[in-house]
Structure 1
Amino acid sequence: MVSAQEGEGRKVSRALEGKLALITGASRGIGAAISQNLASKGANLILNYTSESSAQKTKDLSKSLEGEHGVQCLIIQADMGSPEGPVSIITKAKEQYGDAFKLDILINNAGVSRNLSIANCTIEDFNWQYQINVLGPLLLMQACLPYLPHDRSGRIVNISSVSSSEGFPLQSVYGGTKAALEAMTRTWARELSERATVNAVNPGPVKTDMWGGTSEEFQGYLRPFIQKTPGSKIRKDIDDKDLVDDEERAGGRPAYVGEIAGVVGMLCTPDALWTTGQVVCANGGMRMAI
């Protein structure tokens, strides 16, 4: 039996204590929630953001995480859609950490979406989405290779979407980018089997700026899917008021960012060693809805 005095003096070990995690697109939405989750588990963080408009958000997030969880955060601005951006993240991290630099966790979260009909898809739009959602993670993965663990303790999680498999209207390009990311996930799981697990997580609609910016037309297409999603039923005594008020139009609720971050965080722990090459559903059951 442990005395109260002994219990007070004992430091509780966190699952990711001392690990270093890189999160792209960390300034807001799912990326910020993942950063919060990993920091709560003891991981030190490299927080990547793209545009100058996200600079202050990332600084505020870093300060909050360091104060709340006692972790260290390194902020790096880089454009995941440029050929130089992904490489520059690792170059700057190496400059900060020196020869001791080792990357334990990589979260490929940064992504963009533009919903267009077949007739309105353009080469410019295709290139923009594929450069950020597919080429960016590949270039970052290449840059990270020399710094990943060699004992299977590494964790790589790619943020995909149910759009990769559900065939939503207006998502010829976006759905394709996420399917490509899932294909790379399986390949990387085999190539990196002695170094890291590699998995993807596929959210459905999530309460973020991206969801709020979708058109009435697209949300109308999603309504039948949301209505048949087990986890999307509105709970008036628990859910946010704006989601409760929007129930009739939307057909239910999107996920909260923390619900996605929780699955990602789980995949980053030692408990997830025997899970690799998988697309792990974090969509309330939408993947099986229709």
Structure 2
Amino acid sequence: MARPLEGKLAIVTGGSRGIGAAVAENLASKGSNVLLNYTSSSSTELATSFAKQLSTTHQILAVPAQGDVGTPAGVAALLATAKTNFSSASKPLQIDIIINNAGIARNAPLEHVTQDDFDATYRVNVLGPILVVQAALPYLPHDRSGRIINLSSVSSSTGFVGQSVYGGTKAALEAMTRTWARELSERATVNAVNPGPVEGPMYASNTPEFLEGIRGWVMHTPLMRAREGVDAEEVVRDAKESAGRPAYTKEIAGVIGMLVGEEAGWCTGQVVSANGGMLMH
């Protein structure tokens, strides 16, 4: 059976773990080759092993690529890896899908926000996607078949306490999404998705005070209600304390997987709610 993304190339930043890894798995299962970007050398073994797993399981080519996407040098290394592995003299490089997933969060009340918090978060969350898309521009399709997905967050709209910087970066990313949808309209659709709480180390690192602050939001999010017999016992138990369960990474990846398909070609410039109903538009 033909797979809808057969032979395409996707770049997934922050692709070795969390949402990025789930997205890479989703795309690979549909036939897309994947370039898995990661930043830290401590992730090299994980990214290499994951790339081999994807390649074997889905009969595609998955390649790890180290590089800090918040720097020109890191993005240059990423593109060099793409050229080496996905192009030849007879086959020029084409980048069909870009998933701008890499991001960091530093929560602090206004009076404790530092310039380092600001610089580091905006460098990765805002400058990073700009540099990646700039570098990829010469290699995007010319028939509107390209797909760019930016990972935003409900934090761009909810005003969570302590997220002046993080929420600001995600609001900037949503604004960039709309601009790129116009500027790149003959090359690619450009959309954002905005998860709420998602399983993984970023959510687990939140302080009890922050979690208490968002408890009301979680309580009123329809799909965050844990279900006995469906969700794992640990998830159900934890949900009793936090008022609901975080999203599974595969659930966010599923929404992204829909947006990169041919059928989504009439959707661009949108912030697509992938948060279980925490935000409704």
User: Taking structure 2 as the reference length, what is the TM-score of the superposition?
Assistant: 0.97
Q: Which runs of 4+ in 1 moved over 6 A?
A: none
5 Å matches for 1:43-54? 43-54=32-43
- Aligned twin of 1:113: 105
- Aligned twin of 1:9: none
Distance 1:265 1:87 in 2: 26
Distance 2:241 2:4 in 1: 41
- Aligned twin of 1:147: 139
Structure 2 gaps of 5+ residues are none
Distance 1:175 1:98 in 2: 41
- Aligned twin of 2:244: 252
> Alpha-carbon deviation of 1:87?
2.7
> Alpha-carbon deviation of 1:52?
1.2
- Aligned twin of 1:206: 198
Paired residues, number: 278
Q: Does 1:39 align with 2:31?
A: no
Q: Which has the larger radius of gyration?
A: 1
2:71–2:131 contact (8 Å) kept in structure 1: no
Distance 2:208 2:194 in 1: 23
1:87–1:139 contact (8 Å) kept in structure 2: no
Alignment equivalent of 2:122, drawn from 127, 130, 147: 130
> Alpha-carbon deviation of 1:69?
0.6
5 Å matches for 1:139-218? 139-218=131-210
Q: Does 1:85 align with 2:74?
A: yes
> Alpha-carbon deviation of 1:160?
0.5
1:39–1:71 contact (8 Å) kept in structure 2: yes
User: Aligned letter for 1:28?
Assistant: R
Task: Tell me the secondary structure at the aligned position of residue 137 of structure 1.
Answer: helix
- Aligned twin of 1:61: 50
State the Cα RMSD in Å: 1.1
> Alpha-carbon deviation of 1:98?
3.7
Q: Deviations over 1:158-213 (max 9, x none)?
A: 01000000110000000000000000000000000011000000000000111111
1:148–1:154 contact (8 Å) kept in structure 2: yes
Q: Does 1:286 align with 2:275?
A: no
Structure 1 gaps of 5+ residues are 1-11
Distance 1:151 1:270 in 2: 12
Distance 1:68 1:83 in 2: 33
> Alpha-carbon deviation of 1:234?
1.0
